A and B are shown apart, each in its own frame.
Chain A
Amino acid sequence: MAGETEAELNKLLEEEEVEELEDLPLEEDDDDAEEHEMVVEAPQQPAPPAGSKKRKAEDVLVAPEPEEEGSPIAAVAEGDLTTDAKAADQDDDHEHDAPSEVVEDLVEEEGDADPAPGAATAAIPWRRDQPPSSSAAPGEGSLIRDGDLVVVYERHDRMKAHRVSRGGRVQNRYGIFEFDDWIDTVHYGGVVRAKQFPKKDAEGGGGGSKKTGGGKQGFVYVLRPSCELWSLVLPHRTQILYIADIATVVAQLRLSPGMRVLESGTGSGSLTHALYRAVAPSGEVFTFEYHELRSIKAREEFQEHGIDLKAKGERVEGEGGVWVEQRDIEQLGFPTDGELYDEGSADAVFLDLPGPWKCIPSVTRCLKVGGMVCSFSPCIEQVQKTLQVMNDEGVYYRMRTMEILLRPYEVRTERVNMLSEPGLALPQDAKAGGRPDAMRFEGQPSEPRMMAVPSVDVRGHTGYLTFAQKVKFSEKAAEQK
């Protein structure tokens, strides 16, 4: 903290606080999901089959907000930036940016789509095909490429995923950003400046500059996606698992590359990404979802992210991948016919079902000796039923149930008053800099201190995680049986 005046320090933190306050009442996860969908479904696009299916799958999502002014989507597509800027401006005023988010996605997708992910790329490449130049010169490996999925980071809790494509652009409350300016020039983690910015700022009108991140020209950061970032920006089709649960599931299932994992249901695919990340590149994830459209959507998403998506019967020894099947696991159990995998060959099974106890016998058949099973349930009654059935199976050891919650902390500067003798002169700076706060007059304010406090808006419960290990008994006893 050396070399920085108190005022500077406060200013730095005040900026952060202002942002946080602004955001709190407006943001909801569902809004994000909706925006993401709208992006893909923007009119004027040669509607890809993906888009049309998405609409069907998204019947749960609410229609765009009625207070939307004009049609910003159409406006941008026509290139009428003035209207668009106005829309953004409006949004800024109303502190509501839901409809202003527009990306011309997938418009000029190059035809050389190769679904096979490269051997040298990350566990999840987050793009359909190989990057244009896989043998990048040193330092160029972190450049944004055409076709990459990126996470546009506006501020600490406002992020969106976008597919970068030539000629495409993204608009948000900080302005309009053209992807051509990013491709092959901007490094991941870098700041990008808006091409056009909200009208108010352009005119030099007051009040808007603060919101644009402290300058006249708006800017955002572009991040490389990761499973954790994806779980924050993904389109919610179902309730998803959050990072603390995901981390615990992966660790307690004792996953490592090359393992075979079964999952049901696929849901929004948040955990599937993390499971595949843990077992890739040689491991296999078989994920089952009873909702047909959700499974189709998940399949598309995995393909978009360059995950090695395989079809039934496409299994190659030593070569990993993800299989997405539509199947009602509660009713039918996990397949044990050997078509997808052999019986007794799964290293781990994960269940996120309303009635997980119904399929435990099939889990037992699928699991290897020493294999782990995990069931995620929000209610304790579900856990009780599941454990009872697991116990009746007579092969599960170390059945343990746990809950895991993330406690985020916020960092702020606070002053705590010193107790002082009455009649002491009031320090000048307290009078000048402070609010008319009665407490201040009682004591002498201390130096501002960095304080961490647990965040107020925190999830108090996600679900119970139940783990168990399948064990093996004496061969002799088994024969007798």
Chain B
Amino acid sequence: MVSAEGDVVCEGDHVVLDVNNGERLVVTQVTRKTKVKLSKRGYASVMPLLGKAYGTIFEVSVDGKCLEVGTEETLSVLNGSFKIKSTERNNAKLVDDGTAQKLGHEDIERMKAQGVKSGELIDKLVANSATFQDKTEFSQEKYKRKKQKKHCVAFVLCRPCAQLLCEAYFNKSPERIRGLRVDTLSLLLSLANVAAREHVLVVEECAGLVMGSVLERLGGHGHCHSASPHLDTRAKMEALAQNVLESGQRVSWRKRMQQVQPSTDIVKFFNFEENITANATYGTLGELLEANGRAEGVTIEIGDGDKGGAREAGAEDEGEGEGEDEGGRPGKKQKTWREQRDEAGRQTKRKHLPKRATGKRTQELAQSKFTSLVLAAPSYNPETLVDRCLSLLSPSATFAIYSPWLQPLVDCKLFLHRNKLALRMQLCECFWREHQVLPERTHPQMNMTTGPTGGYILAGVASDAVLGHGGCSDLEKTAIARAAEPKSVSDGGREGGGVVGAGSSAGSQE
């Protein structure tokens, strides 16, 4: 049934293992060295996955050290709960005093060491349970299921995708993706109208999950730019670089340069081909805004004349900057770099990742405007973020903002409403509940891994006020001015004071 080569696992691919019917999702990379701990007893090499089709079921041997392709039996054991349809017995005589099971821990371990198949092991446990026969069929089934989870592990080999990665992260380390639950992520992408041929701007603190999901939806058509919520402009970074180079602290400069870039760690797990990441870039929001100011020329952008000089200087330095960037990249993430070196040595498939946007590219992006905006950076005030991002959007662009808290979005909604910047805004939350559906045993799932809330979304459509927005918000102008000229921050910024009008900040420049 393996129709295309793309359907099988290649060396260096990332895969998701869906363990025991959704009990656990394991994200791993298929390399010679990788070992995964799927059962308590040991680590197994993932090499048996190589060349296998996505969707293949695997069984972990009882010692936990081998992975082998499962049979129909493997699946029917996992789905066994369906067989029991009714019961006449009840548990009236059941006494749980911990003496029911005659086999001790040592016996079980011995059997495992002897290489007893997992199915046989369960049968043995059942045969040696004094109470098993008196239990209701439902309880018997539950008992078996419990023992199975403990002693035999099966999984399905899955191609990484936004849904699986989001669920995997949400279950294991939700803080890394800011508690962004899969239903909320799906709605975020839908409401922001993320689809092929759209130009999507992402500002996230979810370690690249949102960017990866957007790229998956784009499928190589359209653009995705991930901007970090930092206002560092290219000029500022160059200036910083100059200072640091002079003082000989090259390393710390590089660190700073990386700090202000958005994290795209999770993107690598998607196994994107070159065509998908060709139009994927990242940079700081400051760079985009700076480029946007330039794109809009002398029209509205206040202080454009004053800062022109500084910006031109920045532009001239760009050539040098690119060189530094290229040099700086391999060291960006120590782990990735080491991984890449290892892989390169074995000539495995090269992973395609988003690139840092060049000055020219940033300019193009700002000029062409974005048709879709996804914000998932909850530690920044959504008002200030969206205020800046709106100038980068085309009219009627769709936006969706995620926050684990309701209040910031309430304030943001009022802000956008008051300034007539957005239309058809909706503030909502997803209610998500899984159900156990088994004959005579249908009810909502008791162990909700889904958490109390998946967070909140504010979505809407940008009004045509965004066309002139670059110049209408004093807040933004002063921010750009400050970011663009790091040296004059103290004088320029403070003189303007709390009521910085367009005039006053311009005046202070002169």
Contact = CB atoms under 8 A, between A and B. Distances in A.
A230 to B, nearest CB: 11
B55 A472 contact: yes
A403 interface: yes
A221 B463 contact: yes
A166 to B, nearest CB: 21
B464 A473 contact: no
B183 A477 contact: no
A122 B220 CA distance: 13
A257 B220 contact: yes
Given A278-B217, A370-B54, A406-B430, A244 B156 contact: no
Contacts of B195: 122-124, 277-278, 280
A435 interface: no
A369 B54 contact: yes
A471 B428 contact: no
Contacts of A477: 71-72
A398 B17 CA distance: 12
B414 A138 contact: no
B119 interface: no
Contacts of A102: none
- In the complex, which of the residues A153, A274, A387, A471 has the most CB atoms of chain B within 10 Å of its own CB atom? A471
Contact of A400 (B68, B69, B434, B467): B434
Interface string B404-426: 00110111011001100001111
A16 B68 CA distance: 62
Contacts of B413: 411
Contact of B428 (A246, A399, A406): A406
Nearest to A399: B79
Given A138-B368, A278-B217, A450-B414, A247 B396 contact: no
Contacts, number: 276
A138 B159 CA distance: 40
Interface string B157-188: 01101111000000000000000001101110
Interface string A407-437: 1111100000000000000000000000000
B186 A16 contact: no
A18 interface: no
Contact of B463 (A190, A281, A344, A475): A190
Interface stretch (B129-137, B260-268, B435-443): B435-443
Given A188-B395, A472-B53, A121 B197 contact: yes
A401 B435 contact: yes
Contact of B464 (A190, A371, A384): A190
B207 interface: no
Nearest to A226: B193
Contact of B161 (A254, A384, A387, A404): A254
Find the residue from A186, A252, A464 having the highest chain B CB count within 10 A: A252
Given A139-B467, A472-B55, A398 B22 contact: yes
A406 B82 CA distance: 31
Interface stretch (B1-9, B87-95, B120-128): B1-9
Contacts of B429: 406-407, 409
A153 B493 CA distance: 41
Interface residues of A, number: 92
Given A221-B423, A227-B193, A189 B466 contact: yes
B21 interface: yes
B218 interface: yes
A471 B78 CA distance: 13
Interface string A376-404: 00001001100110010011111111111
B217 A256 contact: yes
Contacts of B462: 189
A312 interface: no
B279 interface: no
Given A123-B195, A228-B190, A254-B163, A370 B183 contact: no
Contacts of A464: 435
A183 B287 CA distance: 35
Contacts of A473: 56-57, 69-72, 74-75
A178 B176 CA distance: 52
B4 to A, nearest CB: 10
Contact of B69 (A258, A399, A474): A474
B196 interface: yes
A251 interface: yes
Interface in A452-477: 452, 464, 466, 469-475, 477
A90 B466 CA distance: 37
A257 B218 contact: yes
Contact of B461 (A223, A251, A345, A384): A223
A36 interface: no
A120 B54 CA distance: 33
B394 interface: yes
B433 A153 contact: no
Contact of B182 (A191, A251, A408): A251
B461 A189 contact: yes
B472 to A, nearest CB: 15
Contacts of A399: 79, 437
B463 A397 contact: no
A376 to B, nearest CB: 14
B410 A411 contact: yes
Given A248-B183, A383-B437, A471-B156, A409 B406 contact: yes
A391 B82 contact: yes
A256 B437 contact: no
22 contacts: A13-B414, A122-B197, A139-B369, A142-B395, A189-B396, A191-B464, A247-B190, A248-B186, A256-B217, A277-B195, A344-B1, A369-B1, A369-B54, A380-B437, A398-B18, A409-B410, A409-B456, A469-B156, A472-B56, A473-B75, A474-B69, A477-B72
- Going nearest first, the 4 A-B pairs with the smallest beta carbon separation are A370-B55, A257-B219, A188-B396, A251-B186
Interface of A: 1, 4, 12-13, 16, 120-124, 138-139, 141-142, 153, 156, 159, 186-191, 221, 223-224, 226-229, 243-244, 246-248, 250-252, 254, 256-258, 274, 277-278, 280-282, 344-345, 368-371, 380, 383-384, 387-388, 391, 394-411, 450-452, 464, 466, 469-475, 477, 481
Given A123-B197, A251-B182, A388-B439, 11 more contacts: A123-B196, A189-B464, A190-B463, A190-B464, A280-B195, A368-B1, A368-B55, A380-B442, A387-B437, A405-B430, A452-B410
